[in-house]
Chains A and B, each alone.
Chain A
Amino acid sequence: MKPGILIAGLAWAALVQGYGQAQTEKAAPNDTAPAQAKTIAIVGGKLLTVTHGTIEDGTVVLSDGKIVAVGPAKSTKVPVGAEVFDAKGMTVYPGLFDAETHLGLTEVASDQNNNDLAETADEVEAQMHVEDAFHAETVRIPVERLNGITNAIVAPASEDSIPGQDAAIQLYGRDRDGMMLQADIALAMNFEGSVRRRANFNGPSKFPTTRMGLASQIRQAFLDAQAYEAERAATAKPDHKGPIPKRDLKLEALLPYLHGEKPVVLAAYEGYEVEVAMSIAKEFHLKVILNHVTHAQDVLDEIASYHVPVIVGPIYDFPRPDERYDAVYSLPAELQKRGVKIAISSSGGGEGGSRNLPYAAGYAVAYGLPYEEALKAITLNPAEIFGLGDKLGSLDVGKTANVVVANGDPLDVRTSVKQVFIDGNAIPMVSRQTKLRDEYMPLATKKP
């Protein structure tokens, strides 16, 4: 996280606090509660710190949006005046981080009017900023965060080779700016057959209809960006005479990625697609985060040799007809075993949503991934992969106070999250769905 973002976050907290004091009774937008700059001590829980093991009877202190103390209850002081949250018998862990979602880009998927998932007129759309479409008031965010999801990467849908730039969000805040951790945090890229524009042999076809076409188009885009940069540099010189070329937003958007300043999230499914995509990435010295690699089981050692992190997900993608039923379930374990840093994503969430992210991590445990690595794959690893590791992903002093308290193992489907803290605020445990539940619950409880 850049310092500027942090300041923005604190300014937001201050703003919310002021609002809260003025209008405590009024329902706040997006189920945000009036924030109170108080100190909260979560006491007596089993702490899954992610970075320094498990503390059976521990205390976590949150103050001014930060974690200010973590340790055994015996030796960790509860500050005077702190509000105490009794977590006896509970499990306490850092907020979960979903490495690929479309949160805020879609509401009802079948309704095109509220979908802002991807521009599809062209395959190279690097100038598209997810931040510009992100709908902070989406009903989906409160629903997802009730299961402990506190942070996410919002990516455009994978319909283009380069559909745009991702944003990192916090799943809590009064408005877009309050939720935006970092706009344009990474460039989404796809090299997969589904991006092809399907040749029409009976009429006009639009390039590219093959993987050859896709690859050459991506190469040309980066070459054009390099040429554009050189041209701009030449015309910027004081002795330059003649017209200044017009700014090209598309090519300009590629430059930070060509410079290796920010990562590209490079999606590919098949082994040979991974190899082709990586060869392009190497040509242009891109800083790569691989995505999916669902059917790349034959080249896992090669993937390990790239020394790049991999986002795996969804692990529920189907094996091919010649593969064993668990070929994809076991992918996180196989990658981790080879020393690859992995994040598990919901990959857009599917019909159930991002809220099922912890269960996907649990399923990876069932198929061989060590438990600690699974928890890391949905907390610290995605945070580090996207450059937010100093702020998110573990119970450590100085990190953003995104903390979850649940009545059991966070990766188990039977566990219920009891309280989510984001930026040190105990967030209201309500969503449109809990409101519907409570509205109709009297019907359900009137009989024994």
Chain B
Amino acid sequence: MANFSSVLRHGCAPLFLIGIGATPTSLCAQSTPSSAPTDVVIRNATVMTVTHGTIEHGSVWIHNGKIAGVGATVDAPSDAKTIDAAGKFVTPGIIDPHSHSALGDDINEATSPVTPSMMMIDAFDNRDKALYQALAGGVTTELLLHGSANMIGGQAVVIKNKFGLSRDEMLFPNAPRSIKFASGENPKRVYGRRNEVPSTRMGNFEVMRQAFEDAKAYMASWDAYNVKVAKGDKDATAPKKDLKLEALADVLRGKLYVQIHCYRADEFLTEEAIAKEYGYKIRAFHHALEMYKVGDKIAPTGTGIATFADWWGFKDEAWDAIPWNAVMSMREGVRVALKSDSNDYVRRLNQEAGKMVHYGGATEEEALRMITLNAAWIIGVDDHVGSLDVGKDGDVVIWNMDPLSTYARVDKVYIDGDLFFDSALPGFGTTHFSGAMHDAASEGSDDEGDEL
């Protein structure tokens, strides 16, 4: 809670009065900023719903931060704050399912290939300019992941891009926990240079298997203890709590979404085999540039992908990347999202989606889904965001034209019904931010060739 005044301003003060014993996260992140109007209606726009087509001259009504109506007409009260969006396009907020923004230079705890107890929230800097620049590109939700130095990295933080609010107010309420895994060249390079394991893909996967064997033994020791306690054994000694093994146990218990950085077709197959062996599910492969080769084998597992539109050739394992990967994988039945992995590309994910019309002939709705609903699914927040449907969060972007066009610019961004960015405003165009931004310590990518 770095910014006391902003907390007060946005109604999180009760945290300090009644918050003893409660987690700050849940209290603060669920509060609704008081500045949002009760009812907002955007009228006369081309509304791209993602789930039920595009509505010409349509309206979107947001009530108390939630979408209350979408259609040719909506039943909004007459005193609602009304925005005439004639000639403009409306979409759900853009979602980036793979980002390292606002984590400064703390992206990788590259001191051990297994660091599952690292919590990315502990590195989250809510005043990083990368968040602002993403907001100006229409991005409302981001999954901030550990880097790819480690086979098993840290636990992600999911944010709503309410730039200007406090760290805690930017957390996505009740989002599922995700953990970052990685295999391939990055962990090989990092540990291989030190003559440590892993320096090969054989080493990669043995490190993982060993970690899960350790976790199983840890879980067994707790099971044995709990059995003793249940039998009334007063002398039973509890095993030591171990943060690292607890986190791995949570993977095996299915409590963490597993997000895996890997590129090659063989790695997808190996990762799925290990997941099967140890009984956990993989939520998504990230990068996944060779999914077009094995989409038919991965589709039945239900694992999604978060991939680049057209990045390629920056490293050996990206050599077979083709820009048709996303659409070809989608046609095989794989759930496909596009992501940035970059403070640069996060600003124009709409263009990256537009490329899918070119590379493979995606429809505009399919392309838009890759940066909204499918991205939300990968994070596990698709019940709340990712489409313009009644009951979902009021995360809405108004564009000056079709967002899949090169020429599209963001006019306004609403999150939970509150205006956070308006390009017509002077200065930064932000509504809740004042003061000085922090400079991103990195490009926000953990995967540009020799970088991590």
Chain A interface residues toward B at CB < 8 A: 107-111, 139-140, 143, 316, 318-322, 324-326, 350-353, 355-356, 359, 362-363, 365-367, 411-416, 433-434, 436-437, 440-441, 443-447
Contacts and interface: CB of A to CB of B under 8 A. Distances in A.
B129 interface: yes
26 contacts: A108-B314, A108-B316, A109-B313, A109-B449, A110-B449, A111-B315, A140-B313, A318-B344, A318-B440, A321-B129, A321-B437, A321-B438, A324-B428, A325-B136, A326-B136, A356-B310, A362-B406, A362-B407, A412-B354, A412-B406, A412-B407, A414-B358, A433-B322, A433-B323, A434-B322, A437-B324
B36 to A, nearest CB: 22
B439 interface: yes
A347 to B, nearest CB: 12
B267 interface: no
B283 interface: no
Most B CB atoms within 10 A — which of A108, A326, A415?
A108
B296 A443 contact: yes
Interface stretch (B66-74, B326-334, B376-384): B326-334
Contacts of A440: 292-293, 328
Nearest to A356: B310
Contacts of B405: 412-414
Contact of A436 (B296, B320, B436): B320
A110 B324 CA distance: 23
Contacts, number: 137
Contact of B133 (A109, A140, A319, A367): A319
- Size class of the B contact interface (CB-based, 8 Å): 35 or more
A366 B409 contact: yes
Contacts of B408: 366
Contact of B292 (A139, A367, A437): A437
A154 to B, nearest CB: 16
A98 to B, nearest CB: 16
A131 B313 CA distance: 22
B310 A352 contact: yes
Given A108-B319, A414-B355, A443-B293, 8 more contacts: A108-B314, A111-B315, A316-B347, A363-B406, A414-B405, A433-B322, A440-B293, A444-B332
A355 B310 contact: yes
Interface in B262-300: 292-293, 295-296
- Which 6 residue pairs across A and B have the least CB separation, nearest first? A362-B406, A325-B136, A110-B449, A413-B354, A351-B311, A414-B357
A325 B428 contact: yes
B439 A110 contact: no
Nearest to A351: B311
B407 A365 contact: yes
B333 A447 contact: yes
Contacts of B235: none
Interface in B423-452: 427-429, 436-440, 448-450
B100 interface: no
Nearest to B321: A433
A140 B321 CA distance: 12
A143 B406 CA distance: 21
Contacts of A352: 309-312
Contacts of B322: 433-434, 436-437
Interface string B86-101: 0000000000000000
A324 B333 contact: no
Contacts of A140: 313
Contact of B436 (A139, A322, A325, A362): A322
Contacts of B448: 351
Nearest to A416: B358
Contact of B347 (A325, A355, A356, A441): A325
Contact of A324 (B332, B351, B355, B429): B429
A443 B293 CA distance: 8
B310 A353 contact: yes
B159 interface: no
Contacts of A363: 348, 351, 406-407
Contacts of A359: 351, 406
Interface string B326-361: 001001110000000011100110010011011000
A398 to B, nearest CB: 32
A108 B332 CA distance: 29
Most A CB atoms within 10 A — which of B314, B319, B409?
B314
B257 interface: no
A110 B314 contact: yes
Given A321-B129, A322-B437, A359-B406, A433 B312 contact: yes
Contacts of A412: 354, 405-407
Nearest to A362: B406
A352 B429 CA distance: 29
Most B CB atoms within 10 A — which of A139, A320, A321?
A321
Most B CB atoms within 10 A — which of A107, A359, A412, A445?
A412
Given A444-B295, A447-B333, A411 B324 contact: no
Most B CB atoms within 10 A — which of A139, A324, A447?
A324
A321 B436 contact: yes
B438 A366 contact: no
Contacts of B316: 108, 110-111
Interface in B396-428: 404-409, 427-428
B205 interface: no
Given A110-B450, A318-B343, A444-B331, A353 B312 contact: yes
Contacts of B310: 352-353, 355-356
